[in-house]
């Protein structure tokens, strides 16, 4: 008679695969998972409640800190919700800049994902490769907003400012000098659009490098093929979205089904998997980086050909320019009122969603006519995905749980919002 070896272990809360503080309580029969119980709430920061205590614009920075590797996509959902309630729309150039930075953010997210997920499963080299490209795109964030992560760049009515005419350069130091410094600054001689042109020309070859390391690697396939299979029916039942849903063969993408910003102007494909396992979700995200690169390239061409305002000319929503304040007392009063009291939003309720890198990120906003939201409720894609952990993990071996958490792409800033 075989001995039954049931026991319970804590997987976390410090496990790095979770990108946050997940406490996963696993009931094991030897090395096989019988039950997985996710305990959340260890990071809770009360973002939704905090947003209800401040004027609308002052909560944009909170959105960056939710999924802290999909910063501008989070801002986009919140800002669009405010715009819907106000009945305003950003200028065309601002819409294209938002589209471009949403896709830059998608590449940033997937680079972080592939680097950390590969590291979790024992492949160290890819982490270094992915962060090489990530540094280049982080410089774009810094150039437009002054911050590498928490940008607060999107505003109701447009974006904070237009794209810069020059990119920051590496300075000479004991680490970088001579021909090495010249090579590192080769893309940075012109404007941000010149920089992104050079990046998008180079990036497909970089994705080829990632795929050379992993796609046909037998160890990688042993760790991911047939692991964590999510059927289309399960994906729909659990409210999954993004690569988790598309990896199971369902072609659902808000950029196509419910277009926003300038997505309806650009050409791109929606990658879809077949088997719904960890390997298919990996392939979907790799293909998405290539498609995002295509969109960024098209946005750069559009922005070169079309000048225009990047912020709505409405002093009740957007601040006047400094030159105008020097000569116009009314503009000065609008400036002070906007940055102290904010603006009142007509009473009503609205739901605004964007196709964030991890899935559908939504913002449900209720206004009672005041200068701050009456209610903010955020729809985090990772929360729905983590909820399915018990059903998907059962019957898998303990090391497969690491692959599962990694491929679910959870970040606890948004789950424990």
Q: For residue 4, what pLDDT is reported?
A: 55
List residues bridging with 399 in a β-sheet.
Answer: none
User: CA torsion, points 411, 414, 415, 416, in degrees to nearest 10?
Assistant: 110
129 is written with which tokens? 């490769």
* Residue 251: partners with Cβ closer than 8 Å, 6 or more residues away: 270, 272
Contact yes or no for 100/303 (Cβ under 8 A)? yes
Q: Is the pLDDT of residue 31 over 60?
A: yes
pLDDT band of residue 174 (cuts 50, 70, 90) is confident
CB count within 10 Å of CB 58 equals 15
Percent of the chain with pLDDT over 70: 95
- Tens of pLDDT along 390-409? 999 998 999 899 899 889 88
176 is written with which tokens? 């970088």
Contact yes or no for 359/242 (Cβ under 8 A)? yes
Specify the DSSP class assigned to residue 311: B
CA–CA distance, 12 with 288 (Å, rounded to integer): 30
CA–CA distance, 284 with 244 (Å, rounded to integer): 9
pTM of the model: 0.93
Nearest to 135, CA basis, from 146, 154, 148, 120: 148
Q: What's the whole-number average pLDDT of the chain?
A: 89
CA–CA distance, 378 with 358 (Å, rounded to integer): 14
C-alpha 290: how far from chain center:
16
Place of tokens 């996509």: 73
Cα–Cα distance list, 240 to 26, 351, 394 (Å) = 22, 18, 18
Q: For residue 44, what pLDDT is reported?
A: 80
Q: Is the pLDDT of residue 22 over 70?
A: yes
Place of tokens 């130091």: 173
- Tens of pLDDT along 220-234? 999 999 998 999 999
Q: Is the pLDDT of residue 5 over 80?
A: no
Contact yes or no for 131/95 (Cβ under 8 A)? no
CA–CA distance, 176 with 404 (Å, rounded to integer): 40
Percent of the chain with pLDDT over 90: 59
Q: Mean pLDDT across the stretch 164-191?
A: 83
Q: What is the CATH number of domain 7-169+185-414?
A: 1.10.645.10
- Tens of pLDDT along 337-387? 777 777 888 999 999 999 999 999 999 999 999 989 999 999 999 999 999
Q: For residue 416, what pLDDT is reported?
A: 84
Tell how many helices (H) and how many strands (E) occur in the chain. 18, 8
- Tens of pLDDT along 291-323? 999 999 999 999 999 999 998 887 777 777 777
364 is written with which tokens? 């449900």
- Tens of pLDDT along 250-288? 999 999 999 999 999 999 999 999 999 999 999 999 999
pLDDT band of residue 182 (cuts 50, 70, 90) is confident
């Amino acid at each position: 008679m075989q001995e039954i070896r049931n026991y319970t272990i804590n997987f976390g809360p410090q496990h790095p695969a979770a990108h946050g503080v997940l406490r996963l309580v696993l009931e094991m029969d030897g090395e096989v998972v019988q039950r997985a119980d996710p305990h959340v709430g260890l990071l809770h920061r009360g973002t939704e409640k905090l947003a209800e205590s401040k004027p609308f614009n002052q909560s944009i920075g909170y959105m960056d800190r939710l999924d802290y590797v999909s910063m501008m996509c989070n801002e986009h959902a919140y800002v669009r919700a405010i715009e819907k309630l106000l009945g305003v729309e950003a200028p065309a150039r601002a819409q294209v800049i938002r589209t471009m930075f949403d896709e830059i953010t998608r590449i940033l997210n997937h680079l972080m994902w592939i680097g950390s997920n590969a590291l979790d499963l024992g492949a160290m080299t890819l982490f270094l490769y992915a962060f090489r490209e990530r540094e280049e795109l982080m410089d774009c964030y810094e150039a437009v907003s002054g911050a590498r992560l928490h940008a607060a760049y999107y505003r109701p009515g447009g974006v904070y400012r237009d794209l810069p005419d020059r990119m920051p350069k590496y300075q000479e130091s004991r680490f970088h000098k001579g021909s090495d410094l010249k090579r590192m600054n080769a893309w940075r001689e012109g404007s941000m659009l010149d920089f992104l042109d050079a990046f998008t020309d180079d990036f497909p070859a970089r994705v080829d490098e990632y795929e050379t390391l992993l796609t046909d690697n037998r160890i990688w396939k042993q760790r991911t093929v047939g692991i964590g299979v999510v059927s289309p029916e399960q994906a729909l039942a659990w409210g999954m979205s993004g690569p988790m849903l598309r990896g199971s063969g369902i072609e659902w993408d808000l950029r196509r089904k419910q277009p926003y910003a300038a997505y309806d102007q650009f050409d791109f494909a929606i990658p879809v998997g077949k088997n719904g396992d960890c390997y298919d979700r990996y392939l979907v995200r790799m293909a998405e980086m290539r498609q995002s690169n295509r969109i960024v390239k098209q946005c750069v061409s559009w922005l070169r050909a079309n000048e225009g305002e990047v912020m709505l000319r409405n002093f009740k929503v957007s601040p006047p320019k400094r030159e105008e304040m020097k000569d116009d007392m009314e503009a000065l009063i609008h400036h002070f009122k906007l940055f102290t009291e904010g603006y009142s939003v007509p009473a009503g309720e609205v739901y605004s969603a964007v196709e964030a890198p991890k899935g559908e990120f939504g913002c449900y906003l209720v206004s009672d006519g005041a200068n701050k939201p009456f209610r903010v409720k955020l729809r985090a894609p990772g929360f729905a995905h983590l909820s399915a952990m018990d059903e998907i993990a059962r019957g898998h071996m303990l090391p497969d749980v690491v692959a599962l958490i990694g491929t679910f792409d959870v970040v606890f800033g948004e789950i424990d919002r």
